[in-house]
């Protein structure tokens, strides 16, 4: 199938989904629908590992801010979260290769992957709070991965961190010079592809189940807060519009 905003291929059990809306790979609804179509197309094919990477200077600068406004936000959330629901259902190990900025929704895609190889030039963060919203997926996975204190620091401040700090706190597995990123990723994939796909899927299932946590219910709860409580506020609308209009927001609610 031909895609406009992504590339997708399956080679000998390795599925490769490439974000291809350079230079910043901003995730709009059309692009995210293609990501979902690609993941759906895997079907019963014998895939062992899913690699998510990107063209251009950034992994992804996040979800299109303009598509957070009005009735579009409901479709945006449904399509965006569909990516993670499909990744969860697929059940195979997932690897992210991060060459540059992974911000907002881009950072959430990275955080949701099981393993992350990043360039020394990569930056990661969830700046959503600065435009009057919060990152739903990060709200779900950051406390599990980073611990509550660090998760809240990143989500509440919107700070953007470098690859070295991301590795230190457990958001990234490996950091390498930019020129070594592809080689390091391939080395990791080679290790994984030598293993039993079934055993890796069961191992991941056991590890996730061992958390004694229900991500489906968690995400459903977070979506309700996001859409029914936050997105109906004046501050959320003001923050998003201020970003699009390139001005400072004027908060009116406390």
pLDDT value at 210 more than 80: no
Domain definitions of the chain by residue range: 6-197
Can you give the pLDDT at residue 104? Answer: 97
Q: Quick one: average pLDDT of 77-106?
A: 97
Can you tell me the mean pLDDT for 154-181?
Answer: 98
> How far is 175 from 120, CA to CA, in rounded Å?
6
- Sequence-distant (6+) residues with CB within 8 A of 143 are 151, 152
Q: pLDDT digits over 32-67, tens only?
A: 999 999 999 998 889 999 999 999 999 999 999 999
Q: What percent of the chain has pLDDT over 70?
A: 99
β 94-98/49-54 pair status: parallel
pTM, full prediction? 0.91
Is residue 127 predicted with pLDDT exceeding 70?
yes
- Asked whether the beta carbons of 16 and 77 are under 8 A apart, the reply is no
Residue 128 annotated as catalytic: yes
Q: Residue 216: is its pLDDT beyond 90? A: no
Q: What is the pLDDT of residues 63-77, one digit of tens each?
A: 999 999 888 999 999
- For residues 200 and 48, the answer to whether their CB atoms sit within 8 Å is yes
Q: Choose the catalytic residue: 9, 75, 128, 165.
A: 128
Count other Cβ atoms within 10 Å, centred on residue 42.
18
237 in catalytic set: no
State pLDDT tens for residues 93-121.
999 999 999 999 999 999 999 999 999 99
Average pLDDT over residues 191-195: 96
Residue of 9, 34, 44, 108 with catalytic role: 108
What pLDDT does residue 212 have?
63
* Number of Cβ atoms within 10 Å of the Cβ of 99: 21
6-197 classified as CATH 3.90.226.10: yes
């Amino acid at each position: 199938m031909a895609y406009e905003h992504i590339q997708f291929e399956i080679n000998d059990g390795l599925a490769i989904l490439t974000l291809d809306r350079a230079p910043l790979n901003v995730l709009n609804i059309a692009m995210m629908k293609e990501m979902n179509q690609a993941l759906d197309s895997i079907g019963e094919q014998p895939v062992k590992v899913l690699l998510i990477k990107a063209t251009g200077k950034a992994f992804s600068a996040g979800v299109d801010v303009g598509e957070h406004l009005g009735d579009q936000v409901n479709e945006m959330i449904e399509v965006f979260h569909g990516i993670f629901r499909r990744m969860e259902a697929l059940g195979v190990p997932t690897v992210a290769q991060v060459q540059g900025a992974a911000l907002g929704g881009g950072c959430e895609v990275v955080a949701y992957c099981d393993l992350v190889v990043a360039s020394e030039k990569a930056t990661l963060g969830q700046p959503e709070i600065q435009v009057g919203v919060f990152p739903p997926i990060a709200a779900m996975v950051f406390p599990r991965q980073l611990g509550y204190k660090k998760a809240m620091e990143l989500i509440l401040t919107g700070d953007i961190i470098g690859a070295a700090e991301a590795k230190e706190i457990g958001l990234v597995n490996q950091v390498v010079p930019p020129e070594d990123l592809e080689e390091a990723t391939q080395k990791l994939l080679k290790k994984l592809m030598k293993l039993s796909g079934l055993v890796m899927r069961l191992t991941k299932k056991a590890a996730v189940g061992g958390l004694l946590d229900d991500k489906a219910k968690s995400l459903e709860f977070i979506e309700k807060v996001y859409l029914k409580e936050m997105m109906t506020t004046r501050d959320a609308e003001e923050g998003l519009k201020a970003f699009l209009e390139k001005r400072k927001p004027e908060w009116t609610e406390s």
